[in-house]
């Protein structure tokens, strides 16, 4: 839990300890990066406006060494702020003031999803690699290759979303269905996060050799269409 407001930290601690969680605090962005390395937490709640290093920069630094879920918890409530948070590696975005029970519910949901993902990885077999034309994904190594070349800048959630599309090609899914299948929970803040991740995937996997596309189905959602 990273926030320079100790009252907020103590408030959430009451709820989280009651749920059985052990909570470690950091009160600025620099301390957050250090604690994330030392404590190896299962999930990080991260404020944005903090001393020394702000939450944006702290998130970028933390993402260099861990893929654990990061939930931004901040008073910055514009769409641009939310998109920025998701683009730099956050998995969720909660605006202050907040209801502690909602924060706890989102933490529970993210950790359930992480546990399910680990279970799937542990039981993965030689079929863990999915190939569609010039695109391949290996979920054991979390590697994506396009035209035979490794795409190194995809975030874990983008890889999971892409893997879901490849294993369900030519099927249409609403944003709500994608949130449920990939994120594994009902996204309280709306479906904009799906659009952000798909936009990022399209940009990173642009190639003139593609015989597929993530197609927008207006007023419905998206599908991975193989031409």
68-80 confidence digits (pLDDT tens)? 899 999 898 888 8
Single pTM value for the model: 0.59
Q: Using the 3D structure, point to which of 55, 90, 120 is the last residue of a domain.
A: 120
Segment 165-194 shows an average pLDDT of 80
- Contact indicator for 15, 100 with CB cutoff of 8 Å: yes
Is 60 a residue whose pLDDT tops 70? yes
Range of 110's domain?
Answer: 6-120
pLDDT of residue 181: 83
Domain count, the chain: 2
C-alpha–C-alpha distance, residues 132 and 1, integer Å: 41
pLDDT bucket at 88, cuts 50 / 70 / 90: confident
Is 221 a residue whose pLDDT tops 80? yes
110-160 confidence digits (pLDDT tens)? 888 777 666 555 544 445 789 999 999 998 888 999 999 999 889 888 999
Domain-located, residue 60: yes
Q: Using the 3D structure, point to which of 86, 120, 154 is the last residue of a domain.
A: 120
User: Pick from 199, 200, 137: which is nearest to 165 by CA?
Assistant: 137
Q: Is 171 helix (H, G, I), strand (E, B) or coil?
A: coil
Q: Using the 3D structure, point to which of 77, 93, 120 is the last residue of a domain.
A: 120
List strand residue ranges (DSSP E) for 65-164, in order: 70-74, 92-95, 129-132, 135-138, 143-146, 149-150
């Amino acid at each position: 839990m990273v926030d320079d407001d100790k009252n907020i930290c103590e408030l959430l601690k009451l709820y989280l300890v009651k749920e059985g969680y052990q909570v470690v605090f950091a009160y600025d962005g620099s301390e957050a990066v250090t604690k994330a390395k030392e404590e190896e937490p299962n999930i990080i709640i991260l404020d944005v406006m903090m001393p020394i290093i702000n939450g944006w920069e702290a998130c970028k630094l933390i993402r260099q060494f861990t893929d654990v879920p990061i939930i931004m918890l901040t008073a910055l409530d514009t769409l641009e702020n939310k998109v920025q948070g998701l683009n730099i590696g956050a998995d969720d975005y909660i605006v202050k003031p907040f209801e502690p029970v909602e924060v706890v519910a989102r933490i529970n949901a993210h950790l359930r999803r992480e546990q399910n993902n680990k279970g799937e990885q542990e039981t993965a077999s030689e079929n863990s690699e999915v190939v569609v034309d010039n695109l391949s994904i290996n979920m054991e190594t979390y590697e994506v290759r396009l035209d035979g070349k490794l795409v190194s800048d995809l975030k874990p959630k983008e890889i999971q979303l892409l893997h879901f599309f490849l294993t369900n090609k030519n099927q249409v899914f609403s944003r709500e269905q994608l949130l449920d299948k990939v994120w594994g929970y009902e996204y309280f803040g709306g479906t904009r996060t799906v659009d952000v991740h798909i936009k990022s995937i399209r940009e990173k996997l642009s190639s003139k050799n593609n015989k597929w596309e993530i197609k927008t189905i207006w007023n419905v959602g998206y599908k991975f269409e193989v031409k």
